[in-house]
Amino acid sequence: TIMIIGTLITVSSNSWLGAWMGLEINLLSFIPLLSDNNNSMSTEASLKYFLTQALASTVLLFSSILLMLKNNMNTEINESFTSMIIMSALLLKSGAAPFHFWFPNMMEGLTWINSLILMTWQKIAPLMLISYLSMKNLLLITVILSVIVGAVGGLNQTSLRKLMAYSSINHLGWMLSSIMISESIWLIYFLFYSFLSFILTFMFNIFKLFHINQLFSWFMNSKILKFSMFMNFLSLGGLPPFLGFLPKWLVIQQLTMCNQYFLLTVMMMSTLITLFFYLRICYSAFMLNYYENNWMMKMNMNSTNMNL
C-alpha cells in the first residue's frame, strides 16, 4: 500500500521536491518486499536496488536544489544542464540504457512477483517525471541505446528472468519514444506491456520456471497450455496478429507522422532480434513432429511391455 502511495505522490506532486519524496517512499517500501530469508540472492538484489536508487535520488535532489537556486535566487545556472542531470537520474531509476547495468543482475535474484512489480509498477513514477521534461536529444539517444541493448543482451541468455529483464529494457525504449510523441500512446503501450508481462510471469510463477531448458520438456501432455503460453511470448515480442503488436503499431504510425524514420528503423530492427530469441524458445511448442511426441510414444510402449 505504501509503495502505491509513494508512486501516487510522485505522479500528483507539483514540485520536484514532492516528486523526490514520493520516489523515496516508493523505494523504502519496495525493499522489504524484496528481502526473503530463504534466498540469499534476494538480499543481494535488494542491496543493489537500494544503492542504485539512492544514487539516482541524490542526483535528483541535488539537481532540483540547483533549479530552485536558479528560480529563487537568480543564480547563473544553465537550465538545460540541470534538466539533463534530472533526466539522467530518472533514466537510472527506470533502468534504461546506458544506465541499465543494475537491472538484469538484480532481476536474477528476485521472485517472479517482485520481478513483475519491478518491470511494471516501479516504472510509472520515473516515466511520468520524464514526460515533464523536454530533453528530446538525450531521450533520442537513450531510446536507440535501450532498444539495441535490450535486443542484443537477450540473445545469449538462458535465464528466463534475465531474458524478461532485457525484454523490459527493449520495451522501455519503445515507451520512451512514445513519451516523445504523446502521453496517451505511452499509457496505452504501458498498459498492454503490463498485461502481457503479468500473464507470462504469473504462469512462470505457478509452474516454477526459471530457465529456458525447463520450457523444452514442459507440459508434454498439455499441448494447449503450452501453445497458449508461447503465443503470449510472441505477443510480448510484438508479432503482428497478436495483441502486443497493437501498441507498437500506434507508436510506428505516430513516429512516421513525425518523420522520425531513422529512429523507427533502429527500433524495428531491434524488435526483429527480440522476436528471434522468443521464436527460439517457442520452437519446441510449435513443431508438431518434435521429439517429445515420439518420446511419449516410446514411454507408453515401454510401460505396456512391462505390464505384459
pLDDT of residue 11: 95
Question: If you average pLDDT over residues 143-154, what whole number do you get?
Answer: 95
pLDDT of residue 102: 95
Give per-residue burial for 82-103: e unless 16+ CB within 10 Å, then b: bbbbbbbbbbbbbbbbebbebb
> CA distances (Å), 114 to each of 45, 83, 184, 226, in order?
11, 31, 27, 24
pLDDT surpasses 60 at 51: yes
Percent of the chain with pLDDT over 90: 68
Question: If you average pLDDT over residues 199-205, what whole number do you get?
Answer: 93
pLDDT of residue 296: 55
Q: Where are the domains of the chain?
A: 1-69+79-288
pLDDT surpasses 90 at 147: yes
Give per-residue burial for 272-285: e unless 16+ CB within 10 Å, then b: ebbbebbeebbebb
pLDDT in tens, 79-95: 888 999 999 999 999 99
pLDDT of residue 295: 55
Cis previous bond, 98, omega within 30: yes
Q: Are 90 and 126 in contact (CB under 8 A)?
A: yes
pLDDT of residue 176: 96
pLDDT of residue 297: 55
pLDDT of residue 253: 96
What spatial distance separates the first Cα and last Cα of the chain, rounded to whole Å? 61
Q: Which of residues 136 and 146 earns the better pLDDT score?
A: 146
For 285, residues 6+ apart whose C-beta sits below 8 A from its C-beta are: 223, 226, 227, 229, 230
Confidence tier at 110 by pLDDT (50, 70, 90)? very high
